[in-house]
């Protein structure tokens, strides 16, 4: 994309903090992204509809959804590459309008799904080309600090075509960092990477977050979002939910204790009924019981005592765990049930 130099430096700058950090804080006063009722339509096709959310500076925000959910189109819209059909947004403190396009592009960077590098050029030659294109001030310094940020300084002279997919992705990340962005959009940054390369990209994202870069991360890797993101939104053309992963779990699923015994309890209802904090129970297999509780910490001691008093041989008792994947599947499957054509 067309990125231009920023007039100000932000947290990623390699120079010592101080005055530059003060600038970072100033521009970070309001939300980094504020999106209100935003929609994008291509002819008859709604790419995303009526999407609203806010992201604070320094936040790592996960944007999850199945293929075709509208994630990339949202990134392209907020990145000023395409105009929304309706709604409004502010990106890095500026209203998303055609007049502000250039200034917004100075403050953000997008790492698209495919790295788009010149494969016959070396890593450093690629970065020099893009630094020139984006009119980055002090290009040598910026190239050096971007390479350092993605741990690629020792591969600077390697030809991009000779690099593994994972390393190319890191070059693409270095390219996105050249303009020292306030808000960094990463569109499926680990798509197609093996687990080791994906982990390396995760570590780089953690490093960027520590430096205060606001990150908008689209992914359909749920464990990635769960590990890296402060908050996540699940998109399936419309925004299905938004919150911290643990909040979403609690909103969607009842809290339960899962109990396994050596042999079936003769009268489980007598054991579980009326215990403090217990609202119900069900059997899950021969000798496994799922007890619905208001708070596992409050209910577990009483449940354990009741089991022991009933003479049960307890193999395990623990809180059931719902992953972000459970949340995602619950919501996306609801959509599929509501509209079988979307499967
Ligand atoms: N340039 C375009 N013209 C027409 N339809 C498009 C265009 N870009 C995306 N779409 C459609 O918008 C929807 C959302 O696509 P996309 O944002 O790429 O989803 P995701 O990134 O979540 O996989 C899809 O139905 C896709 O076919
Ligand atoms: Mg996409």
In angstroms, what is the span from residue 234 Cα to ligand 2's centroid?
Answer: 14
Looking at the DSSP assignment, which residues form a beta bridge with residue 2?
Answer: none
- 238-243 and 231-236 strand pairing: antiparallel
- Residue 16 has a pLDDT of 30
Q: Which of 154, 159, 77, 169 is nearest to 118 (CA)?
A: 159
- Ligand 1 in reach of 70 Cβ (< 6 A): yes
Alpha-carbon distance of 16 to 140, in angstroms, equals 17
CA dihedral (208, 209, 211, 216) in degrees, to 10, reads 80
Place of tokens 């049930």: 337
- Ligand 1 in reach of 69 Cβ (< 6 A): yes
Which residues does 89 contact at the CB level (< 8 Å), separation at least 6? 33, 34, 35, 36, 38, 77, 78, 95, 96
- Ligand 1 in reach of 44 Cβ (< 6 A): no
Ligand 1 binding pocket mutation candidate from 39, 41, 44, 47 (most atoms within 8 A of CB): 47
Q: How many CB atoms lie within 10 A of CB 299?
A: 23
Alpha-carbon distance of 184 to 179, in angstroms, equals 10
Query: 333: which 2 tokens?
Result: 């499957």
CATH number of 19-245: 3.40.50.300
Ligand 1 binding pocket mutation candidate from 38, 39, 68 (most atoms within 8 A of CB): 68
Minimum CA distance residue for ligand 1 atom 17: 70
pTM of the model: 0.79
Minimum CA distance residue for ligand 1 atom 26: 68
- Ligand 1 in reach of 40 Cβ (< 6 A): no
Which atom of ligand 1 lies nearest, measured to the CA of 48?
Answer: 14
- Ligand 1 in reach of 219 Cβ (< 6 A): no
- Residue 27 has a pLDDT of 52
Domain boundaries, the chain: 19-245, 254-319
- Residue 188 has a pLDDT of 94
Q: What is the DSSP secondary structure assignment for residue 285, as one 8-state letter? A: S
In angstroms, what is the span from residue 253 Cα to ligand 2's centroid?
Answer: 29
Residue 55 contacts residue 214 (beta carbons within 8 Å): yes
- Alpha-helical (H) ranges within the chain are 19-27, 71-78, 101-107, 123-133, 139-149, 165-177, 195-210, 222-228, 245-252, 268-272, 296-309, 324-338
The DSSP secondary structure of 116-158, one letter per residue, reads ---TTSBHHHHHHHHHHHTT-SSHHHHHHHHHHHTT-GGGTTS
Identical fold for domains 19-245 and 254-319, yes or no, is no
CATH number of 254-319: 3.30.70.100
- Residue 17 has a pLDDT of 31
Alpha-carbon distance of 279 to 275, in angstroms, equals 8
- Ligand 1 in reach of 78 Cβ (< 6 A): no
Alpha-carbon distance of 52 to 131, in angstroms, equals 33
Q: How many residues does the chain have?
A: 343
Which residues does 304 contact at the CB level (< 8 Å), separation at least 6? 314, 317
Alpha-carbon distance of 273 to 295, in angstroms, equals 16
- Residue 325 has a pLDDT of 81
- Ligand 1 in reach of 72 Cβ (< 6 A): yes
Give, rounded to a whole angstrom, the gap between the first and last alpha carbons of the chain.
Answer: 33
In angstroms, what is the span from residue 73 Cα to ligand 1's centroid?
Answer: 6
- The per-residue pLDDT string of the chain (343 residues; one tens digit each, 9 = 90 and over) reads 434 333 333 333 333 333 333 333 335 568 999 999 999 999 999 999 999 999 999 999 999 998 999 999 999 999 999 999 999 999 999 999 999 999 999 999 999 988 889 999 999 999 999 999 888 999 999 999 999 989 999 999 999 999 998 899 999 999 999 999 999 999 999 988 888 888 989 999 998 998 889 999 999 888 888 889 999 999 999 999 999 988 887 777 788 999 999 999 999 999 999 999 999 999 988 899 999 998 889 999 999 999 999 999 999 999 887 778 888 888 887 776 666 554 4
- Residue 238 has a pLDDT of 95
Residue 160 contacts residue 180 (beta carbons within 8 Å): no
Alpha-carbon distance of 257 to 307, in angstroms, equals 13
The region, left, alpha or beta by phi > 0 then psi within -120 to 50, assigned to residue 53 is: beta
Sheet holding 288-293, edge to edge: 278-283, 288-293, 256-261, 314-319
With H, G, I as helix, E, B as strand and everything else as coil, classify residue 55.
Answer: strand
């Amino acid at each position: 994309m067309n990125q231009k130099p920023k007039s100000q430096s932000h947290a990623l700058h390699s120079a010592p903090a101080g005055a530059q950090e003060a600038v970072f804080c100033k521009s970070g006063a309001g939300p980094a992204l504020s999106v209100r009722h935003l929609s994008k339509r291509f002819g008859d096709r709604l790419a995303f509809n009526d999407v609203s959310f806010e992201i604070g500076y320094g936040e790592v925000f996960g944007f999850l959804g199945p293929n075709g959910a509208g994630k990339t189109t949202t990134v392209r819209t907020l990145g000023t590459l395409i105009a929304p059909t309706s709604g409004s947004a502010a990106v890095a403190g500026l209203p998303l309008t055609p007049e502000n396009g250039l200034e917004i592009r100075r403050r953000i960077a997008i790492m698209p799904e495919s790295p788009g590098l010149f494969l016959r050029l070396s890593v450093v030659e690629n970065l020099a080309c893009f630094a020139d294109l984006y009119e980055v001030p002090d290009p040598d310094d910026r190239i050096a600090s971007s390479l350092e940020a993605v741990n690629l300084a020792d591969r600077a002279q390697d030809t991009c075509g000779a690099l593994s997919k994972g390393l190319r992705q890191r070059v693409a990340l270095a390219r996105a960092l050249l303009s020292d962005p306030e808000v960094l959009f990463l569109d499926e940054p680990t798509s197609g990477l093996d687990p080791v390369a994906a982990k390396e990209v995760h570590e780089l994202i953690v490093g960027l977050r520590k430096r205060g870069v606001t990150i908008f991360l689209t992914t359909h890797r749920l464990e990635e979002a769960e590990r890296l993101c402060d908050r996540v939104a699940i998109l399936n053309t419309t925004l299905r939910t938004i919150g911290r992963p643990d909040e979403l779990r609690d909103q969607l699923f009842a809290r339960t204790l899962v109990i396994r015994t050596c042999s079936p309890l003769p009268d489980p209802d007598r054991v579980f009924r009326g215990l403090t904090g217990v609202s119900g129970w069900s059997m899950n297999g021969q000798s496994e019981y799922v007890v619905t509780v208001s708070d596992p910490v409050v209910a577990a001691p009483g449940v354990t005592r009741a089991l022991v008093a009933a003479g049960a041989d307890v193999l395990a008792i623990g809180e059931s765990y719902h992953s972000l994947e459970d949340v995602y599947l619950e919501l996306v499957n609801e959509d599929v049930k509501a509209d079988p054509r979307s499967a």
